[in-house]
Amino acid sequence: MKDGDYLFKRILSGLLVSAMLTGSVVYLTGCSNSQNGSDDNTSTNTSTEYAHADKIDNGTILQCFSWDFNTIKESMADIAASGYTALQTSPINACLEGENGGMQLYGDGKWYYHYQPTDFKIGNYQLGTRDEFKAMCDEAEKYGIKVIVDVIANHTTPTTSAVSQDLIDAGGGSLDTLYHKNNAYDLNDFSNRLACTTYKMGGLPDINTERTSFQDYFIEYLNDCVACGADGFRYDTAKHIGLPDDPKEDDGFTNNFWQRVITEVNNADNLFIYGEVLQGNNERIADYIEAIGHTTASTYGSKIRGAITNNTLSKGTVSDYWLGDAPLNMVTWVESHDNYINDGNWYNMTKEQVILGWAVITARKDGTPLFFDRPYYSSVENEWGMNRIGTEGDDMYKDKSVKAVNFFRTAMIGEDENIVNPNSDSTAVMIERGTKGAVIVNTKDALKTGFETNLADGTYVNRVDGKTEYTVKNGKLTSDADIPANSVVVLYNDGYKKYEAAAEVGVAEDTVFNIQSGKTATVTLTCANTDNAEYALNGAAAVSYKNGETVTVSVPSGSDIATLELTAKNSKGVKTYERVVFATEVKYSISSGTKVYFEKPDSWGDQIFAYVYNDELYENETWPGIEMTKESDGKYSYTFTEDWETPYIIFNDGDFADSQQYPADNGLTVEDGKTYTIE
């Protein structure tokens, strides 16, 4: 979640054989058939070894944003083969079942409902059951992958009628005692530490995390996660939970939440724990690092995004983590789910640019990089892509540049870093690790070689493309080829291991994921690096396919989705998995005279607009739309003056820097006479 209720304008939107510790790197050898649950016993054991860091601090984390437990389990081979040390789940707690259980990331369902706890027990309708979570963790252990759970302690769902009685009892027996006394106030002043840690933030009721009985209840939840196989936790909105010396309400409790949850949870000494502490105003980041162990470095992420999009990778920008004198115990990212969704990063930065940024932060010595995997087939024109909770995200997380730099990071553990701009050109940056390796990121025009380097003399092959050679002699790096624009070059020999290319499966880029009711769709299937790709449609028996073949997809009777599961193995028997979901397309009409109402929050301005559009890119007026009619204090109306086919509506308070809108993204469907309120 993100500080405040900040809404931004969008118009349209196997079997474990051995684990040998070598230095600080773990090499995992597996038998892919048994560890992937395959019934195919015809292939031999793999000789694949994936190098993982000995601990999460030294490796990389894959944020499996809104993937369900079964999808993560089925994708574990891909995650290991891509060089990650750990994965991070979305929140696994019981949560509000919004939109009658809708499973779209946005629309008929919302990704953020799993950030609205109703209880602190494992399992929810979006991600799966406790048994499925444990099975996922068991699979991760086979591959040497650690599991980090995203946890929320600061707030519950604003739909307080859905909060469980067990949680209420743990909070003192009533909703009033579960929450802070100051929960009656909305947080607007982030510089006020008492307000920041006890007021309601973004409409989410603020739990009294100082209450001993609540802490006991929450630690039980953490211990259950650990018992199932969790190796660490990410604390959402950590900045809103008080530090020991923070001011607090006069309720007889003390600010000891962090001390208890960090030290009293089982296996505490071996857990990787970090807090989301978004920088900006009085965030006390050094103190949170001391209290929790690690925090996020959000300002650094914004600086890297700006550097990549502006082609200005100066040494000063790249090197400064913007943490002041705080210890460098941090999780770094190019983007997080918050800024992707709330800050408009989805249309400001391409996936290719994200990968360039990832190469920069991952090649560095300090920090633990987190890779946010965007929704499947999202783009700068389409934020949500397939728009489905539970499925695997985009293939960008296993891009060849991402893989190469992940394994580079593991091989470079313990090596110092040196950051330079080759040829004094700030559109490119080289991150050297001792004399052992270097990563070059070039954001603009082709870059001439012949520049100075600390790399040891020798011949190096770019580990991204596996073929381009670079020579280092007498401190100069040369090649017959320029370094291409918008590319990553990864150079190292010591510690390099060659892995068989992973199998690839998917559907064509022009696939439409909505099917009209009663209709069928022809879907083109893709695959590479495999000779045994298969698809299973709506749970039927698997069918072999070749790259470019098509399948006819329809939504089964009694369901609103069709599911296509794609699997393949490479020559070493390592499995790749993808689940593609098609939903029934909603079509409806409204007539002229349809009237809707909107109740605005008190924090909004008094001039309210209705922006209406449809899939044909027709709109009632350019943003912010047409001004609504004030019916009474806080209530406004809008009357449609013409017939519409499948319109969507967004309410907002104008076109200015601090304007607010609802919803934050895709518009709402229109229902005659309905009064819309912010959930």
Active-site amino acid positions: 236, 276
Compute CA 263 distance to the chain's CA centroid, rounded to the nearest angstrom.
Answer: 27
* Residues 374, 64: Cα–Cα separation, whole Å: 9
> Which three-class secondary structure state does DSSP give residue 480?
coil
Compute CA 328 distance to the chain's CA centroid, rounded to the nearest angstrom.
Answer: 22
User: Do strands 648-652 and 487-492 pair parallel, antiparallel, or not at all (unpaired)?
Assistant: unpaired
Q: What stretches of 11-52 show up as alpha helix (H) in DSSP? A: 32-35
- For residue 369, what are the CA distances in angstroms to 112, 176, 236, 270, 441? 23, 39, 17, 19, 17
106-111 long-range Cβ contacts below 8 angstroms, 24+ apart:
106/383, 106/384, 106/387, 106/663, 106/665, 106/666, 107/384, 107/387, 107/666, 108/586, 109/389, 111/65, 111/66, 111/337, 111/341, 111/389
* Residues 421, 427: Cα–Cα separation, whole Å: 8
Beta carbons within 8 Å of 425's beta carbon, 6+ residues apart: 447
Tokens of 229: 């196989």
On whether the CB atoms of residues 582 and 555 are closer than 8 A, the answer is yes
In terms of Cα–Cα distance, which of 608, 603, 645, 606 is closest to 626?
608
* Residue 503: DSSP 8-state: P
Residue corresponding to tokens 């040998």: 20
* Residues 182, 184: Cα–Cα separation, whole Å: 5
On whether the CB atoms of residues 89 and 148 are closer than 8 A, the answer is yes
User: Do strands 629-632 and 635-639 pair parallel, antiparallel, or not at all (unpaired)?
Assistant: antiparallel
Beta carbons within 8 Å of 250's beta carbon, 6+ residues apart: none
On whether the CB atoms of residues 137 and 87 are closer than 8 A, the answer is no
* Residue 130: DSSP 8-state: H
Q: 1-40: b or e for each residue (b if 16 or more CB lie within 10 Å)?
A: bbbbbebebbeebbeeeeeeeeeebbbbbbbbbebbebee
As to burial, measured by CB atoms within 10 angstroms (0-12 exposed, 13-18 middle, 19+ buried), residue 539 is exposed
> Which three-class secondary structure state does DSSP give residue 352?
helix
In terms of Cα–Cα distance, which of 577, 593, 569 is closest to 536?
577
The Cα diameter of the chain in Å comes to: 79
* Residues 489, 398: Cα–Cα separation, whole Å: 16
CA angle, corner 363, sides to 378 and 491, nearest 5?
105
Tokens of 553: 């997809």
E-strand spans in 96-224? 106-107, 109-110, 117-122, 146-151
> Which three-class secondary structure state does DSSP give residue 621?
coil
- For residue 256, what are the CA distances in angstroms to 244, 246, 541, 548? 6, 10, 55, 59
The answer to whether the Cα torsion of 473, 476, 482, 485 is positive or negative is positive
On whether the CB atoms of residues 625 and 652 are closer than 8 A, the answer is yes
